[in-house]
Every structure is written in structure tokens, then in C-alpha cells.
Amino acid sequence: MAERIIIIGGDAAGMAAVSQIRKGAPEAEIIALEKGTQTSYAACGIPFLVGGEVEGGIEQLVARSPEQHRQTGLDLRTRHEATAIDTTARTVEVHDLDGDQRFTLEFDQLLIGTGGKPIRPPFPGIDLPFVHGVHGLDTGARLLAAMEDESVQNIVIVGAGYIGIEMAEAFLHQGRAPTVVEMASQPLTLLDPELGALIGDTMTSHGLDLRTETAVEGFEPGVVHTSGGPIPADLVVLGIGLGPDSQLAADAGLDLGVSNAIVVDDRMQTSVEGIWAAGDCVESTHLVTGQKVHIALGTYANKQARVAGINIGGGDARMPGVLGTAITKACDTEIALTGINSAQAAAAGFDVLTHSITSPTRAHYYPGVSDMTVRLIVDRPTGRLLGAQIVGGGDSAKRIDTCVVAITAGMTIEQILDLDLAYAPPFSPVWDPVAVAARETMKRR
């Protein structure tokens, strides 16, 4: 009898594992359960859909539809919610939402890819219909529908993280200038304050009303109540962050770790043999500190799913860890970071050296040149790079990948300075800005 493998979740963490499972276990029966109607979609594209950069409707964000998955032979069951896991009996309780029927499926191996869920603090009025999250295609569709109403002019975004910043720009593209409310003293708190201030300046210079050190206290129709007073609001978008959707695993007795994310080893196996997990619902190991972290990124979901799929199929793959690498933009300013920031480095016990430089993105005489700021976070005794942050004009942010490789390889700033980085006037100054940052940081050791 063929081995039965059940996958819970039809987005990246679940679907990206299927091809790897088939390679290792071609005779296995694979059943995928998805409580929604869509699969393999790019929720990260919602702000750009709302802003109009992506044309053609919400379906443009779907990489592979349920029918396309079924055409490959996958037994994919949409509108089927896994409601309980019995780790002893090796069964999953399933609710057919359309037929309102319940049944039990036995499994030999199980992959949990339940993803993340938006953080929704218990503010009064948070469930009112004019308060929106940004998670899943249905939320994107609701935002698009709301924007068709010309009377929707007063928009408030709660949170100035990645989603908050991207949604603020999206509404600017639609001719609305939203108010962004952030409890911290700066947007993007993962950046050191010096670079966070640059993002704040960019946002306000483009007409956004950025209110930092302002706490939301509740909602009522037409108003957001904050510590700084009421703000008129026809529409509210929550960009507070994403937590792991791990309740199903917790109810099954699987171990949970940091932020209540599912504990997995480097093979993506949970605390119960033969039960695996991947994506926004699991914790990861930070490559710099060795500490457990919960970082919800689509890149990790796909990589973790690949590792889990290989191992479910009988192979041996490992997930080495993460750096929290992220990239976005605020209007015409690009933003990128990797590794740990100054505060995190100090908290982890490093003797921290940090330094920032500002450099042109390309030869100073070449059209389109703009400034970029590079900040390096370094372990002073060894010179090893621990983190990097970049804020600047066009063609700035992807230079963070040089720093990603350097941190992963354990390189020092002296070694970074000697890298054979590419040069031509349309792309870089003679000294690449990352190399300049390494050189100037070396002088301060």
C-alpha cells in the first residue's frame, strides 16, 4: 500500500514541497488540504496591486491555481480545513466547509504549512468592517473594492513596518495621502535610528502624515482613537505584523518555541517523528546569534518547504538558518537590511562597532546617479560582519546581497574590502559603496 502524505496548507510552504516529495517518493499518495479557495499566491504583491503597479486583477498574484495543481496529479482539496491532528493515531480531522461534512484521514507523514496570521491587538472596534488586514488574496480584493469608492479619502495605516510603508505608497499612487501611525519613534524599527530617520524624512517629503510615538487606542466608525488624539478615517489598514498560525499544532501537542512558532529541527521535523512543518508557522535559527527567531518571509517558506519535501521523500536536506534579509522601498527610496542591528548585536553580547557612509550609486558623472547610505555592524575584536543596512536611491538596495554572502561566509570587513566587485560607470563608482563602508569602518577599529 502506498504511503500517504498529507499537507495542511495550500500556499508556499505546502505546495513548494510537493515536487520534492514526488522525486523521492513517486508512488506516495499526496493529499493537500486548503481551507481557502486559492493556492500558491503572492500575498506580498497586494500593496503593488492596490497601488496599480500590478494590472489585471487579483488573479495576477496567483502563481499556480488549484486546477493547475490538480493537473499534476495532486489530490488538492480546497475549502477543506484541518481541524485536529492525532499524533498517536496518525490521523487528521477534516471539515469540508462547502459540504459541511467532517471526516478523518490517516497519514504516514504530515507536513504542516498553516502559515502566519496578522497580529490583531484587542483594540475596541478592531473588527469593524472599515478596518482591514493585509494577508491573503481575499483581503487584497476587499481593499481594491474599497478603493473604488471615491468617498474613501481619509486613510489611516497602523504600523510603519514593511507592510505599512508599502501600503502607504500604494494609496499615494491612488491619489490618497494616508496617515501612518507608529508606536515607536521611527519607521522600520529593525533599522538603526540613523537610517530609520532617513525613511521618516522620505515619507513626510512625499506628503505622508507620519505620526511616530503614537499609540492606537481603538476604532469607531469614521475615527481612529490614538494617544495623540482622534484621526478621521474612512478606511484603516493594519500593518502591525504577522504571527505564526500554530494553534492546530499546539492542540496536537507539538512543541512550540519563540513567539509560539512550531519547533523544528534543521530537517524541518517537529517534535513528533514523521510530522514536519515549514513556512510562517515555524521558528528558525539565526545564523549570526544562533538564537531561535520567528521571521515570516516568503523566501524562507519556499526554502523550508524544499528541505521538508526532500526529507519526507526519503532524502537528507538541512536548513542552515536565516539572516532576516529584507528589501523594500518607500516611494523613491530603497531599503534593505540583513543580519542583526546595533541593538541586537549588543544584546547578544558582541563588542559592537558600527559605521555609516554615504556614497553615489554609480559614477558621479553618469545620468541617474543618487546617494545611498550603507551602515555596517561589525564585531570589533574580529572584524567579522554581523549586519548591514542600506537606504538610498535607485539601484541601492540589491547591494545587500553582497553583505548577505559576506555574513554567511563569516567574512571580515578586511576581506570585504578586497572583494573583486564589478565596476562600470552606469552601475557603480570605482569603489563600490559596500567596499567603501568596509574601508571606512576598518579605520575605526
Phi-psi region of 330 (alpha: psi -120 to 50; beta: other; left: phi over 0): beta
Q: Is 80 exceeded by the pLDDT of residue 1?
A: no
By the 8 A CB rule, do 378 and 352 touch? yes
pTM exceeds 0.85: yes
**Cα dihedral 169, 338, 211, 176 in deg (nearest 10):** 0
Residue 135: pLDDT band (50, 70, 90) is confident
* Model confidence pLDDT, tens digit, residues 235-272: 999 999 999 999 999 999 999 999 999 999 999 999 99
Residue 55: pLDDT band (50, 70, 90) is confident
Percent of the chain with pLDDT over 90: 90
Measured at the alpha carbon of residue 188, what is the angle toward residues 259 and 362, in degrees to the nearest 5?
Answer: 130
Residue 150: pLDDT band (50, 70, 90) is confident
pLDDT at 333: 97
- DSSP strand pairing (209-211 vs 275-277): unpaired
pLDDT at 2: 84
Q: Is the dihedral of CA 365, 369, 370, 372 positive or negative?
A: negative
pLDDT at 57: 84
Q: Which domains does the chain have, with CATH numbers?
A: 4-36+79-116+243-312 (3.50.50.60), 120-238 (3.50.50.60), 334-442 (3.30.390.30)
- C-alpha span between 285 and 267 (Å, rounded): 12
Report the chain's mean pLDDT, rounded to a whole number.
96
pLDDT at 199: 97
Q: Is 44 a catalytic residue?
A: yes
* Model confidence pLDDT, tens digit, residues 158-209: 999 999 999 999 999 999 989 999 999 999 999 999 999 999 999 999 999 9
pLDDT at 136: 83
Nearest to 79 by CA among 134, 13, 10: 10
In SS3 terms, the chain reads as: CCCEEEEECCCHHHHCCHHHHHHHCCCCEEEEEECCCCCCECHHHHHHHHHCCCCCCHHHHECCCHHHHHHCCCEEEECEEEEEEECCCCEEEEEECCCCEEEEEECCEEEECCCEEECCCCCCCCCCCCEECCCCHHHHHHHHHHHCCCCCCCEEEECCCHHHHHHHHHHHHCCCCCEEECCCCCCCCCCCHHHHHHHHHHHHHCCCEEECCCCEEEEECCEEEECCEEEECCEEEECCCEEECCHHHHHCCCCECHHHCECCCCCCECCCCCEEECCCCECEEECCCCCEECCCCHHHHHHHHHHHHHHHCCCCCCCCCECCCEEEEECCEEEEEEECCHHHHHHCCCCEEEEEEEEECCCCCCCCCCEEEEEEEEECCCCEEEEEEEEECCCCHHHHHHHHHHHHCCCEHHHHHCCCCCCCCCCCCCCCHHHHHHHHHHCCC
User: For residue 320, what is its C-alpha cell?
Assistant: 542552515
* Model confidence pLDDT, tens digit, residues 112-124: 999 999 999 999 9
pLDDT at 209: 96
pLDDT at 148: 87
Average pLDDT of span 332-349:
97
Q: Is 80 exceeded by the pLDDT of residue 32?
A: yes
List the catalytic residue out of 44, 281, 331, 403. 44
pLDDT at 269: 98
